[in-house]
Chains A and B, each alone.
Chain A
């Protein structure tokens, strides 16, 4: 087997996989008797054609950046974290507890505190599967799946029995005080005299997400810990021989991963809903897997892939609004992207390698 040149491996194969996934999506749209071209146009105008659309696209992308970074950090350590969903759920609990605990004077004070709450709760939820993997060899994929369900049940219990305000029937927490309201991107734009994205949920957390990409990049490629994480992910035996503790790396990498997933809650719970709702994560933890796969576990790739998925999400909503194509089309596209970029990538790579071998 010839090895592909680096650019082909990093850019060409995922791009071809993506093209395949979209081609099949187009066939699916044809099969349900709709026009793929009209669908695409609706999505592009709805998600990218106005600052309103962009506001939603960026809001969704923010969620996906956090969960995808979570999946990526675990993945560099050779661990498949399917539990970002549960960790983000717990992160929401952390945010809500912080936001409701004190009479915060200003959002600028509440935001760092909420971030710590979110990260701590997310990390704690990732800690148990991590320690079980490291010490007892319990398969982390299965334990994180189980922890997603346990998180959902736990949140349900906490909301219904403990955090629900008296007299309310909704399984939801009380509304956060106004002083914890995060500035929306629209306010920031208005601050510099630009009218942008009125009535959209995109908020300051987007900037935090972009900063998180930089921090993760520094962590993975510019620190000793990152080096240890990558060596451990490449070869556990070699890492152990070099004196890297498998237990420490597994636990630390998973806790960083959980913290990143938890941080997503700053965006959706504090930035948008302003109270804790049941199932507020809405599958973003799983979409993180697709985004991380597409972005090749690199923060820059993840940023681009998250924008793509943000566009798909907002565009999907617009499709459901303006055409008779249900929202679930997006789930299908998402599945195809995961399938082709994540597990059928050899289908693209093998012919490419043959092509290069012949030259």
Chain B
């Protein structure tokens, strides 16, 4: 394996990390506020479809992005109504949202475009262009740092940088603002937040809206950045991997970056080398694909580190009268 291959794999890992990272941070906001969200997958899928459809029709990727976020927010609204307003089962609502997205995207896609659930291929202004970071050309010849900067970090679509910026932003919001303190508190002990005179309902709705926004970006990136258009079931379990990464990251933003990069790297390696030959035995590609899930189970089992989820997660809050 030479340097060029390593650079290629790292570059591909950054691309594959982006939707995972955005979805993982999305889940972080929701779960930190005490709302389980296994509907990340569905929201991403819906956003991917809405963004690709709008971009295909208007030819403008930014309108596509807005449509994607709107699609994802609409599903967030359902999740909020079910889990906050009507105090229903959050897990079941998530399952329903995943099915709803899986069905609606194909149903609408087939009705509007008649391509068997796909949207027309996007090109030109309907896709995100790649951004070259400043000085990328000049730093390129420097050994090690050069290729890392100009090939791995530079030359991605804007949403990749948005995802990377979302990490410090999330950290700041969560640990340095009053909103963040309350958000963390409401996921641990909503009654105490309520006693302090802060609305639990409003905090949770805000968190769910942020979740919708971020999954919207994640989905839009899938359809307009990573690929050129929507394909049936294109989220391909990424919402669940993001959920796994969230546990891996112990519900913390910087670790989320690490976890999603690791999972992105695994996917990149599995794509590049379907079967890894280790001499005496071969690691099959299926193993690499299943590795994020296996690692998550090991983490959950507490054999490496300990996963401590927000304490009030999954329980609807009933205000005392």
Contacts and interface: CB of A to CB of B under 8 A. Distances in A.
B302 interface: yes
B247 interface: yes
A206 B27 CA distance: 41
B86 A344 contact: yes
Interface stretch (A4-12, A147-155, A266-274, A297-305): A147-155
A136 B301 contact: yes
Contacts of B86: 343-347, 350
A215 interface: no
A32 B88 contact: no
A157 interface: yes
B32 to A, nearest CB: 16
Interface stretch (B171-179, B182-190, B283-291): B283-291
Nearest to B240: A145
A150 B293 contact: yes
Contacts of A150: 290, 293-294, 297
A345 B88 contact: yes
Nearest to B81: A344
A146 interface: yes
Nearest to A132: B301
Given A28-B107, A157-B284, A149 B240 contact: yes
Contacts of B309: 139
Contacts of A345: 86, 88
A84 B88 CA distance: 22
Interface in A292-318: 293
A interface, how many residues as a size bin?
Answer: 35 or more
Interface stretch (A110-118, A254-262, A331-339): A331-339
B16 interface: no
B103 A338 contact: no
Interface in A118-153: 128, 132, 136-139, 141-143, 145-147, 149-150, 153
B91 interface: yes
B117 A326 contact: yes
B92 A331 contact: no
A96 to B, nearest CB: 18
Contact of B286 (A128, A153, A342): A153
A6 to B, nearest CB: 21
A79 to B, nearest CB: 11
Nearest to B282: A161
Nearest to B105: A328
B103 A334 contact: yes
A302 B290 CA distance: 33
A275 to B, nearest CB: 20
A22 interface: no
A339 B89 CA distance: 9
A157 B36 CA distance: 32
B100 A157 contact: no
A82 interface: yes
A319 B41 CA distance: 27
A343 B287 contact: no
B70 interface: no
B297 A132 contact: yes
B110 A326 contact: yes
Contact of A343 (B89, B240, B293, B296): B89
Contacts of B96: 335-336, 338-339, 342-343
A325 B103 CA distance: 12
A217 interface: no
A329 interface: yes
Contacts of A157: 284, 286-287
B82 A142 contact: no
B28 interface: no
B100 A335 contact: yes
A333 B104 CA distance: 10
A144 to B, nearest CB: 10
Contacts of B102: 328, 331, 335
B243 interface: yes
Give the residue among A142, A153, A286, A333 with the most B Cβ atoms within 10 A: A142
A63 B98 CA distance: 21
B300 A143 contact: yes
A343 B92 contact: yes
A132 B302 CA distance: 9
A343 B88 CA distance: 4
Interface of A: 28, 32-33, 80, 82, 128, 132, 136-139, 141-143, 145-147, 149-150, 153-154, 156-157, 160-161, 286, 289, 293, 325-326, 328-336, 338-339, 342-347, 350
Given A160-B286, A331-B99, A342-B88, 4 more contacts: A138-B307, A146-B294, A339-B92, A343-B82
23 contacts: A28-B104, A80-B91, A139-B309, A141-B38, A142-B244, A146-B244, A146-B293, A147-B297, A157-B284, A286-B95, A293-B92, A326-B110, A328-B117, A331-B99, A335-B99, A336-B96, A342-B95, A343-B82, A343-B89, A343-B92, A345-B88, A346-B88, A350-B86
Question: Which 6 residue pairs are nearest across A and B when measured between Cβ atoms?
Answer: A331-B103, A343-B88, A335-B99, A153-B290, A332-B103, A335-B100
